[in-house]
Amino acid sequence: MTIAPLQALPLEQLRRRSSTKWRTYPEDVLPLFVAETDFPLADAITERLRTAVELGDTGYTPPDPGIRDAFAAYARRRFGWEVQPSRIRSTCDVMMGVVEILRAVLKPGDRVIVAPPVYPPFFDCVEEAGGVVERVPLIDIDGSWLLDLNGIEQALAGGARAVLLCNPHNPTGTVHSRAVLARLAEIAAAHGAVVVSDEIHAPLVQPGMHYTPFLTASPVAAEIGYAVTSASKAYNLAGLKCAVMVTASEKTDAVVRALPEEVEWRTGLFGALAAVAAWSPESDAWLDSLLAALDHNRRLLAELLAEHLPDADYRIPDAGYLAWVDLRGLGWGDDPAGRILRDARVALNRGPTFGAEGRGHVRFNLGCAPEVLTEAVHRIAALLRG
């Protein structure tokens, strides 16, 4: 059965929004940078939040607003992942969960492995937790981005105490295989290290690609891993503040349960209400339509670049709505997003912020109308002619 793609809202309506995407730049700029999408909310989310506003239900978040059961059911239904609700704890957002877990398992100055190019806040949150970043870049093999397991093993043998994993990976859209994740767990366990896995992009894995939650990769992964995720990326709820920390062993569960009570108190009530609605079966059809829209756009970008910017290097991502594009062939320097913003009036994420491996790259946000994406590429291509 063919699924109709979700339709983005018109630009004139989107420009009435007050979020970062629509308030950072003037109206002549097409904003394809920060990870916000241009689609209407799922109906179940809209209805739940409308009811809360009508009731004046704007107080403190209760001890269990339904998040645990909702996420456990969602994980089983969408991913085949059996999660014990008792091993789920909420917090404000994914990066806060990552920081608090790292802070609990590290000593000041411990090294934490990250795999750049990677989501820029990874670098900051390691430092916030008292750790030191150890870079083990992804490796490019036969057109695929892979974790450098040999490099990770060397770093752990040299004293690194944790791996901060992005699964699926941002910005490349890579979905790590079960075999790779299981081997990562073995390596970490052999050196007494832990893996903290940011899995916020999991709902956005395209049909035909198999997402493996890190905690399910192997019994070893279950023992040494922590997963942190949220409905915020897929369902565009970043401003409402709710994420979950998930464990699969008594030892890791004890670490999360020992976190300060304030970590859970920071969960936003509207975030919790929206997450429960997002993870409900009523929102599944909306998510499937979103995936169809993103599938169209990720392929459209490939066509547009091939026609108008043939020297750009782009690999269609397996997951997410973020596209990692290498523009070094255009000769626009280490930070081409600066010139593109100034001269084409298109805002993209700046590649060097993802690590040194991002020099000459940009990150496109594909969560928009096809017409907006087309206009953005046309504007950028015009720079070649001007």
Q: Is the pLDDT of residue 59 over 90?
A: yes
Q: Tell me the residue type at 322.
A: L
Is 373 within 8 Å of 300 (Cβ atoms)?
Answer: yes
- How far apart are alpha carbons 217 and 179 in whole angstroms? 7
225 bridge partner residues: 195
Pairing of strands 30-31, 225-229: unpaired
pLDDT of 55 reads: 98
Q: Give the three-state DSSP class for 25.
A: coil
pLDDT of 143 reads: 87
Mean pLDDT of 63-82: 97
pLDDT of 97 reads: 98
Q: At what angle do helices 284-308 and 370-385 cross, to 10 degrees?
A: 20
224-227: list long-range contacts, CB under 8 Å, 24+ apart: 224/185, 224/188, 224/189, 224/193, 224/194, 224/195, 224/249, 224/252, 225/185, 225/194, 225/195, 225/196, 225/197, 225/252, 226/101, 226/194, 226/195, 226/196, 226/197, 226/252, 226/255, 226/256, 227/197, 227/199
**74-103 pLDDT per residue, tens:** 999 999 999 999 999 999 999 999 999 999
Q: Is the pLDDT of residue 246 over 90?
A: yes
Q: Is the pLDDT of residue 133 over 80?
A: yes
- How far apart are alpha carbons 69 and 35 in whole angstroms? 27
Q: Tell me the residue type at 264.
A: E
**29-43 pLDDT per residue, tens:** 999 999 999 999 999
Q: Name the percent of the chain lying above pLDDT 90.
A: 98
Name the band, by pLDDT with cuts 50, 70 and 90, for residue 71: very high
Dig out the tokens for 69 from the structure. 């059961």
Closest CA to 290 of 278, 303, 276: 278
- How far apart are alpha carbons 136 and 355 in whole angstroms? 11
Dig out the tokens for 145 from the structure. 């981005």
Dig out the tokens for 385 from the structure. 């002619």
- How far apart are alpha carbons 235 and 10 in whole angstroms? 18
pLDDT of 9 reads: 98
pLDDT of 335 reads: 98
Residue-wise over 219-250: b if at least 16 C-beta within 10 A, else e?
A: ebbbbbbbbbbbbbbbbbbbebbbbbbbbbbe
Q: Is the pLDDT of residue 259 over 90?
A: yes
**195-238 pLDDT per residue, tens:** 999 999 999 999 999 999 999 999 999 999 999 999 999 999 99
pLDDT of 1 reads: 72
Q: Is the pLDDT of residue 385 over 90?
A: no
Name the band, by pLDDT with cuts 50, 70 and 90, for residue 51: very high
Q: Give the three-state DSSP class for 111.
A: strand
| Mean of all residue pLDDT scores within the chain | 97
Residue-wise over 92-121: b if at least 16 C-beta within 10 A, else e?
A: bbbbbbbbbbbbbbbeeebbbbbbbbbbbb
Other residues' Cβ atoms within 10 Å of the Cβ of residue 385: 5
Cα–Cα–Cα angle for 112, 114, 119, rounded to 5 degrees: 130
Is the entire prediction scored with pTM above 0.75? yes
Mean pLDDT of 172-194: 98
3-state secondary structure 165-209: EECCCCCCCCCCCHHHHHHHHHHHHHCCCEEEEECCCHHHECCCC
Q: Is the pLDDT of residue 372 over 80?
A: yes
Other residues' Cβ atoms within 10 Å of the Cβ of residue 80: 12
All structural domains of the chain, each given as residue ranges with its CATH number in brackets, are 11-41+283-385 (3.90.1150.10), 46-281 (3.40.640.10)
Q: Is the pLDDT of residue 386 over 80?
A: no
Name the band, by pLDDT with cuts 50, 70 and 90, for residue 122: very high
**308-333 pLDDT per residue, tens:** 999 999 999 999 999 999 999 999 99
